[in-house]
Amino acid sequence: MTNFEYAPALESTAILDIASQYGLFINGKFVDPKTAQYFPTINPANEQLISQVAFAGETDVDDAVKAARNAYEKSWSKLSAAERGKYLFRIARILQERAREFAVLETLDNGKPIRESRDVDVPLAAAHFFYHAGWSDKLKYSGLGNDPKPHGVVGQIIPWNFPLLMLAWKVAPALATGNTVVLKPAETTPMTALLFAEVCQQADLPAGVINIVTGDGSTGSFLVNHPDVDKIAFTGSTGVGKAIARAVSGTKKSVTLELGGKAANIVFEDAAIDETVEGIVNGIFFNQGHVCCAGSRLLIQENIQDEVLEKLKRRMASIRVGDPLDKNTDLGAINSAEQLSRITELSASGDLEGAHRWSPQCDLPAAGFWYPPTIFTGVTQAHRIAREEIFGPVLSVLTFRTPQEAIEKANNTPYGLSAGIWSEKGSRILWASQQLRAGVIWANTFNKFDPASPFGGYKESGWGREGGRHGLSAYLKGEK
């Protein structure tokens, strides 16, 4: 060996005890689906079967909602707020104790690198439960009135990009504020939600407080349209979000939506270039770019374009693509064949419309779903890849001449979830952050999350906020 090639450093899967089949988690127990149907969930890195999970139909969803209603009325709403908080603390601690199990399972089912599930997804999920556990008995100080009340039964539909973390973002505030939950995990990533069901049992959470129904879009639709659900919380695509908004209009249901994005990551000429390059990489290649707030539109001041792109390309050449269970992998597998074809199709439109594609030399595994880290230069506002959410490791690079032009281009999108500003000049950061129409704005960093910090979008990126004091209001009826 003459080069420093990192030998495989695989995280073991021996810690997992995966059943061959999983039922629905209703009223504190795993039950067979009334549909009698199961569907496979596979490892996107090698297309091997992980397990078969139950397919919940209309009757199953109805059973879950009934269990949640019953638990809300008979047990959960009767508990003191402090007692409620204790359950959240208990869940948070169990998540920490079983962190390795959750990380490995998340990586298997989702395809994300173990480094990210281990260092980001699972610790943040536990942090969300700890944070909200603390709120449980302090809601009257949340600024939402003297005695804010829960909605009752909440239907929650979560995406496949951060399966456990999105569960935590939804479940923790719902429980802390005294609601009960019917949760529908994403079709391709149900496994950590099912392991979370075991955690609920381990924590002795009263039966029916959390119910988990696996299935596809139709399952989600039964939940959205169920007459006894008081509130819907959804994270996913803008298309589905709009359908949900239409479905609940004219009903008593309240809704929060956390939808797509096409974030501008703006690099000014006075940026700290090396750290900016790290931020660009983190902004678009974190989690294979399967991030609603990904920095997918890079706006570089034209006079430093060459320097930034040269450094970015060199840095991209060091990205390690491969087995997500390898502790040295930076970029894992694309979550599904369907998503891979969407990324492929949108990228092809970039070629067709005259943008210049570049990827570093990298060997992709034969089995599974893979896409190399990719940038397109010479992109303009009129390109599809500058407007549509690719949700993959594909970055569109645009340029600007003046700060005003940067802001105009950044805001020229129907989305408004996040944005990034790179500058060593404090006054420029403050000015730009006031002009940008985006819910989350990062300065000299990107993709940083904290349970105390509200997250959510402007325009077609969503309604409402998750996290922090603002996020509580989505789950409470008070004087808002």
Burial 32-48 (b: 16+ CB within 10 A, else e): ebbbeebeebbbbbbee
- List 271, 291, 398, 476, residue binding other proteins (CB under 8 A): 271
Q: Number of residues interacting with other proteins: please give it, by CB under 8 A.
A: 25
Closer CB to other proteins, 83 or 310, in the complex: 310
Using CB under 8 A, which of 77, 237, 328, 412 touches other proteins? 328
Within 3-62, the residues that bind other proteins by CB under 8 A are: 3-9
Cβ proximity to other proteins: between 154 and 267 the closer is 267
Instruction: Give the residue, chosen from 93, 100, 327, 470, that forms a contact with other proteins under the rule CB under 8 A.
Output: 327
Residues numbered 306 to 325 that lie near other proteins (CB under 8 A) are 318
Q: How far is the CB of 5 from other proteins (least distance, A)?
A: 6
Binding mask 117-136 for other proteins (x = CB under 8 A): --x-----------------
Shortest Å distance, C-beta 370 to other proteins: 22
Q: Is 453 in the site for other proteins (CB under 8 A)?
A: no
* Rounded-to-integer distance, Cα 99 and Cα 91, Å: 12
45 to each of 151, 369, 392, 393, how far by Cα in Å?
40, 6, 15, 15
Q: Which is nearer to other proteins, 6 or 141 (CB)?
A: 6
Structural contact between residues 395 and 376, judged by C-beta atoms closer than 8 angstroms: yes
The SS3 of residue 45 is coil
Closest CA to 178 of 82, 261, 89, 49: 82
Helix (H, G, I), strand (E, B) or coil at 116: helix
Q: CA–CA separation, 424 vs 267, rounded Å?
A: 10
With CB under 8 A as the contact rule, which of the stretches 209-217, 275-283, 351-359, 430-438 interacts with other proteins?
A: 275-283
- Using a 10 angstrom Cβ sphere, with 0-12 exposed, 13-18 middle and 19 or more buried, the burial of residue 52 is middle
272 binds other proteins per the rule CB under 8 A: yes
Asked if residues 378 and 356 have their Cβ atoms less than 8 Å apart, the reply is: yes
Which is closer to other proteins, CB of 69 or CB of 115? Answer: 115
- Which of 216, 278, 388, 405: binder of other proteins (CB under 8 A)? 278
> Is 258 among the catalytic positions?
yes
Q: CB of 290 within 8 A of CB of 335? A: yes
Nearest Cα neighbor of 27 from 211, 240, 249, 201 is: 211
Selected binder of other proteins within 73, 216, 302, 424 (CB under 8 A): 424
The structure tokens 């990489």 sit at 281
Does 409 bind other proteins (CB under 8 A)? Our answer is: no
> Considering beta carbons, is residue 96 or 445 the nearer one to other proteins?
445
CB of 418: closest distance to other proteins in angstroms?
18
Q: Which stretch binds other proteins (CB under 8 A): 225-233, 242-250, 265-273, 456-464?
A: 265-273
Rounded distance, CA 299 to CA 280, Å? 10
Phi, psi of 157 (to 5 degrees): -125, 120
Q: What is the DSSP letter of 156?
A: E
Q: Which of 79, 273, 337, 429 binds other proteins (CB under 8 A)?
A: 273
* Span interacting with other proteins, options 66-74, 227-235, 273-281, 402-410, rule CB under 8 A: 273-281
Residue closer to other proteins by CB (options 32, 274) is: 274
Instruction: Round to whole Å and give the CA distance between 209 and 75.
Output: 9
Interface with other proteins, residue 450, by CB under 8 A: no
SS3 102: helix
The DSSP output letter for 76 is G
> According to the binding rule CB under 8 A, does residue 115 interact with other proteins?
yes
What is the nearest approach in angstroms of other proteins to the Cβ of residue 328?
6
Structural tokens at position 426: 């404090």
Q: Is 444 in the site for other proteins (CB under 8 A)?
A: yes
389 catalytic? Reply is no
Given the rule CB under 8 A, which of 24-32, 274-282, 332-340, 389-397 is the region that contacts other proteins?
274-282
Catalytic position from the list 106, 200, 292, 293: 292
The contacts of residue 39 (CB under 8 Å, 6+ apart) are 52, 53, 55, 187, 215, 216
C-alpha span between 395 and 407 (Å, rounded): 19
d(CA 341, CA 248): 31
Identity of residue 31: V
Nearer to other proteins, 7 or 382 (CB): 7
From 258, 269, 389, 466, the catalytic residue: 258
Active site residues: 258, 292
Instruction: Kindly list the residues in this chain that would bind other proteins in the complex (CB under 8 A).
Output: 1, 3-9, 115, 119, 270-276, 278-279, 318, 327-328, 424, 444-445
